[in-house]
Amino acid sequence: MSLAQLHSQAVVAGSAKLAASVQVGPYAVIGEGVELGEGCIVHAHATIGGPSVFGRNNVFHPYCVIGGDPQDYTYRGERTELAVGDGNIFREHVTISRGTAKGGGVTRIGNNNFFLAGSHVGHDSQIGSNSLFVNAATLAGHVIVEDFVTLGAFSPVHQFCRIGRYAYIGASTVITQDVPPFALVVTERETRLFGPNTIGLERKGFSPERVRTLQRAFRLLSRSKLNTSQALAEIRRVSGGSEDVAELIRFIESSERGIIK
């Protein structure tokens, strides 16, 4: 590999094998037994551990740790591996663990997966291709994820679970059993509107009268038996020309996704 593509402040182990077109930024660390295929880009501060083998055109963003030791109490330094295909993107703070001897020894990832910031793949997991792991989506060990899966933000998956092809898992959904292919799985939503942010508004200098006016509007919106259109009409009638209430009404009327009530 040419020196022009390896920053002088990067750390690359002597046993690492980098294709000629690999680019490595400053303060990146590439460990022993790492192999990077053509077109891979290792940004500043990324860490890649080994033994691990990567195909072509993978991108490693700052502070990701790919190919680290498995997070397993029984791991004692045995040789275990990570095998990765082509075109995967690992964003900031993504962590991917190598396998364990008792779990087969290899964590595998296919092609064209997108791992958003903070997502994690545990040891011995087997990941297909073309899947999206949204921020802080986390897999325990031994998880199987087939192709074209979307795993929503802050969604943990229990060890040994399987997720079938084309499944969609919504944000903050805890997975403790297998998810069938083509399925839509979303946890129940109990998010509620409790009224105006009274203490916060007072701290921002809202007068007691402004706060009381908003409280009346929110009571009509969320606690009356009126539907949204009826509630807005009544809020207009009793608001006394309040600019705060007018802003609230404009926001609700322009909502395309509906509002939390």
The verdict on whether 124 is a catalytic residue reads yes
Are residues 162 and 177 in contact, defined by beta-carbon separation less than 8 angstroms? no
Paired tokens of 73: 């109490």
Residue of 99, 123, 142, 152 marked active site: 123
Inter-residue contact 115 to 95 (CB < 8 Å): no
Provide the pLDDT confidence category of residue 223 given band limits of 50, 70 and 90: confident
Answer yes or no: 244 catalytic: no
Which residues on neighbouring strands pair with residue 27, listed in sequence order? Answer: none
For the chain, report the end-to-end CA distance as a whole number of angstroms.
59
The mean pLDDT of the chain is 94
Is 141 annotated in the active site?
yes
Helix, strand, or coil (residue 65):
strand
Model pLDDT, residue 3: 45
Architecture of domain 3-185: 3 Solenoid (2.160)
Domain positions in the chain:
3-185, 198-253
Active-site residue (options: 31, 55, 122, 141): 141
Active-site residue among 43, 67, 124, 128?
124
Per-residue model confidence as pLDDT tens digits over 58-102: 999 999 999 999 999 999 999 999 999 999 999 999 999 999 999
pLDDT tens profile 141-183? 999 999 999 999 999 999 999 999 999 999 999 999 999 999 9
The fold for domain 198-253 equals Udp N-acetylglucosamine O-acyltransferase; Domain 2 (1.20.1180)
